[in-house]
Structure 1
Amino acid sequence: MHNFFTKVAQFMYGRYGMDKLNIGLLILWLAVNILNTVFFRNWIVQLVTYLIVALIIFRCLSKNIEQRKRENDIFMFWYYKAKPLFIKIKDWFKLQGRKFADRKTHRYIKCPYCKATIRVPFSKGKHTVKCPRCSEDFKTNIRF
């Protein structure tokens, strides 16, 4: 077994290997493949998944390191530009999970001044709430 790993290491010497773009392509391949398997069953979409895998293998085994590095740098530039959007989406899903977990004991309301989401104990009726972010008092009515 040791001999096999040395042969693989010798083969990979001077090749580009995996980077963030390849990992992103791998995640894209996984998502498209799952969508195609569950929803579409389309041969064109399946062909696209094969092309994505071929691109991953090509980039991984390429000896043109400078070109692959340039491609990865462009990908990382756009990745960091889009990262705040992905963080907002992730935070929204986390908030929905917390809302579901607290659905019997708490309510979530928005501050009308700073738009912060505030978790308040569930008790029906009219209440005055002080926002922890902007320290403004506002009235709210918890109905259900």
Structure 2
Amino acid sequence: MLRFERAVDDKTLEDWRYVHNVVIPTVSLSLDEVRERTQRNHLEVAYLGDVLVGNCTVWPPSEETPAARVIARVLVEHRRQGFGEQLYRRALDRARAMGATTFGSVVLSSNPDGLHFALQHGFVETERYVLPGETIPWIDLQYQDTAVASS
């Protein structure tokens, strides 16, 4: 069973950073950059016992971006064991608690496992783009939570 911790102290922030940097090596973040992200996003890490498995991020909805963005990342050696599902469900629950009824995500195109996971969970691709100074496209995805939207 996974144990989840909000990334708030140096250990959990460093663990969150490690997963991010392994899964998204083109955008390596420093610990200070991760600390800054905690000011606007909800960051969590997941452990199996004491072993780091993955992380999740929730970007809350805002006036500029009404869809919450949910991101689940799992280290390669822990994929295909249901951990991504747990992280994803946890991120969705957090986003709903923030008032979101629509959700987006983003996947680096060099992560076919992540794209497959998102597509299997009802997300659809909306845009591909390359950020300035980068060479690998990002994929934006959108999902409508019909259970919340119809109630």
Q: TM-score, normalised to structure 2's length?
A: 0.21
Calculate the TM-score normalised by the size of structure 1: 0.22
Select the structure that is richer in strand: 2
Larger helix fraction of residues: 1
